[in-house]
Amino acid sequence: MTTRFIFVTGGVVSSLGKGLASAALGSLLQAHNYKVRLRKMDPYLNVDPGTMSPTQHGEVFVTDDGAETDLDLGHYERFTGVSARRTDSVTTGRIYSNVIAKERRGDYLGATVQVIPHITDAIKAFILADLTDEDFCICEIGGTVGDIEGLPYLEAIRQLGNEVGRARSLFIHLTLLPYIKTAGELKTKPTQHSVKELLSVGIQPDILLCRTDREIPDNERHKIGLFCNIPQDRVIAALDVDTIYRVPVNYHNQGFDREVLRYFNLPAQEPNLDTWHHIVERATDPKEGAVTIAIVGKYISLLDSYKSLAEALHHGGIAGNVRVHIKWIDSEVFEHEDVVTHLEGVHGILVPGGFGMRGAEGKIKAIQFARERKIPYFGICFGMQMTVIESARNLGGIEDATSSEFEGKGTAIVGLMTEWLKGSQLEKRAKDGSLGGTMRLGSYPCHLTKGTQAHKIYGCDEVQERHRHRYEVNLNHQEAFTRAGLVFSGLSPDGILPEIVERPDHPWFIGVQFHPELKSKPFAPHPLFSSFIEAAKKQSSLV
Ligand code: GLN
């Protein structure tokens, strides 16, 4: 293996956009015709983010092979198109549980098991695993330098830098250059301190990415270089942007890719960034107006919970050459306020994924409004389940239709599946099993029914989409569903699990059991999102 390693750390404060920086660097290296992989190491003790609250941690990004990962992996995929794998994401919780399991098996032959070398070895093994012909592996370390939890990772990458050799390893550090108005200056001190912190664990950064709201004047660049022991050309500005898709172009203008390639002694021809220029143009200056989409969810106190969803809608906007305004609505408001006051005039309504009873009735009211007023409607995962419940209750004659996810009485037309097929293999789960990693996760095939809207939108007979749910619509109630006017236009290959539902009597009314937003890219918008935005465009010409 001749893969080169790029380690990305962050300092000063969190939320500077390390994930985006890594993703954008990945896309630039691809533009130079290199093959990349991106990886994320998260220093928290959860085994994976699957059990973490979306309003604390943001969205859980699901990979094709069924791993529940950090939302940064979504950025990686959206910028590079490389499908992330289970082996691209790890947490301290996972590392420790593996090491402790090994210790219990007696694999350490009586040795005292310690952070160094056992935890650091496990981290290094993670970084090196499952790579073949990649030219670059970009590894992002979560958190900020100086966090106690991050220390084993820094020690591991320090060691690895020596082991693979400095010619094959590069340390990039992302910091903040705040502009202090009263002084009229960009301040370099936090960056100096952050680099000092890294030096104290034995890492000299090779390139500094400085997040700033303006260009860095030459004298400041010089000063940072001097204090941080870095050539001035390797002090790169990471400028604030109007759209995240401008980041690759900006980085290139700042010479970031040139410096990375120069570090590795690789030739740097002018890369072709036409795709990114086109995306930026469409995202910032769309020529066909604007549409407003209401997202009726319950995790809206942290919009990162819907990261991929918001991006996928914007990709639909890129495809349709329109600006997409998102109106975020907490579904609980519909428990005491009229839906009309919030939803009147929007051009599309989307009910996203979710867990638990809270807010569900509000979502059902929003769905009813979309159905009756013939407003384009898109239900995703939980949103699809509520779509079927709404129709079953109001049109199918099952007035007490509910989901077994909710406690209480009623006819559970959405129920817990304990067995299902993955390919030819039977997957099982216990009814009262633990919550972590026990959902139907990852990519599953879906057969599309000819003559349906879904079939027309996708333009093929079978698709693969990613799942993350425990419950399924139960087709034993097919008669009531038919009475309610629902058509299941996508099913699992064995015909048991409904994957897509639609209403032929409505201009655009589709619910999907999977998460199409996870596969949408700015350069390849997901067909369902493009089509939904197209329908919203039509709606906007009506209202
Ligand atoms: N709570 C639902 C289930 O587990 C839906 C999950 C989701 O929307 N991702 O089936």
> Model confidence over 137-170: pLDDT tens digits?
999 999 999 999 999 999 999 999 999 999 999 9
Which residue from 298, 407, 468 has its CB within 8 A of the most atoms of ligand 1, so it is best to mutate?
468
DSSP letter at 119 equals I
| Contact yes or no for 440/469 (Cβ under 8 A) | yes
Identify whether the C-beta of residue 356 lies closer than 8 Å to the C-beta of residue 520: no
Q: What 8-state DSSP symbol labels residue 451?
A: T
Please indicate whether residue 117 or residue 55 has the higher confidence score (pLDDT): 117
Q: What residue's CA is closest to ligand 1, atom 6?
A: 469
Using CA atoms, how far apart are residues 74 and 76, in angstroms rounded to an integer? 5
pLDDT tens figures, 107-116: 999 999 999 9
pLDDT tens-digit series, residues 78-134: 999 999 999 999 999 999 999 999 999 999 999 999 999 999 999 999 999 999 999
How far apart CA 43 and CA 48 sit, in angstroms, is 11
The confidence score (pLDDT) of residue 542 equals: 75
- pLDDT-derived band at 408 (thresholds 50, 70, 90) equals confident
Among residues 378, 195, 410, 412, which one has the least CA distance to residue 294?
Answer: 378
Cβ 458 under 6 angstroms from ligand 1: no
| 363 Cα–ligand 1 center, Å | 14
Q: Is 139 a catalytic residue?
A: no
In this prediction, residue 69 has a pLDDT band, given cuts at 50, 70 and 90, of very high
Question: Is 270 annotated in the active site?
Answer: no
**Any atom of ligand 1 within 6 Å of the Cβ of 381:** yes
What is the rounded CA–CA span in Å between residue 502 and residue 481?
A: 11
Its sign, for the CA torsion 188, 193, 199, 203, is negative
Question: pLDDT tens digits, residue range 464-485?
Answer: 999 999 999 999 999 999 999 9
The structure tokens 């990305």 sit at 8
The residue whose two tokens read 């809608």 is 313
Q: Pick the catalytic residue from 134, 155, 311, 517.
A: 517
- 471 close to ligand 1 (CB < 6 Angstrom): yes
Distance 165 CA to ligand 1 centre (A): 46
pLDDT tens for residues 225-273? 999 999 999 999 999 999 999 999 999 999 999 999 999 999 988 999 9
Q: What is the mean pLDDT of the chain?
A: 94
Of 140, 515, 526, 534, catalytic: 515
- Ligand 1 centroid – CA 447 distance (Å): 21
pLDDT tens profile 328-351: 999 999 988 888 999 999 999 999
Q: Residue 203: which of 193, 192, 211, 195 has the closest Cα? A: 195
Higher pLDDT, 542 or 48: 48
Atom of ligand 1 nearest to the CA of 383: 8
| Ligand 1 centroid, distance to 508 Cα (angstroms) | 22
Q: How far apart are CA 141 and CA 68, in angstroms?
A: 17
How far, in Å, CA of 466 to CA of 512, rounded? 11
Ligand 1 site, residue 469, Cβ cutoff 6 A: yes
Token digits of residue 181: 């108005």
Q: Determine the distance separating the centroid of ligand 1 and the alpha carbon of 223, expressed in angstroms.
A: 52
Q: How far does the centroid of ligand 1 lie from the alpha carbon of residue 356, in Å? A: 8
Residue 118 is given by DSSP the state I
Q: Could you tell me if the CB of 440 is within 6 A of ligand 1?
A: no
Residue % of the chain over a pLDDT of 70: 96
- Residues 6+ positions from 19 with CB-CB distance below 8 Å: 40, 70, 71, 72, 75, 76, 140
Probe target for ligand 1 pocket from 381, 474, 518, with the most ligand atoms within 8 Å of CB: 381
pLDDT at 286 over 80: yes
**CA distances (Å), origin 355, targets 239, 383, 385:** 37, 10, 11
How far is it, in rounded angstroms, from Cα 216 to Cα 31? 26
Q: C-alpha distances in angstroms, 128 versus 21, 278, 464, 470? A: 21, 35, 29, 33
Atom number of ligand 1 nearest to Cα 380: 8
CA torsion sign for 275, 281, 287, 293 is: positive
d(CA 503, CA 486): 5
Distance CA 13, CA 144 (A): 7
Q: Is 353 in the pocket of ligand 1 (CB under 6 A)?
A: yes
Clarify whether 381 is annotated catalytic.
yes
CA of 439 to the centre of ligand 1 (A): 9
- Exactly one of 381, 447, 526, 534 is catalytic; name it: 381
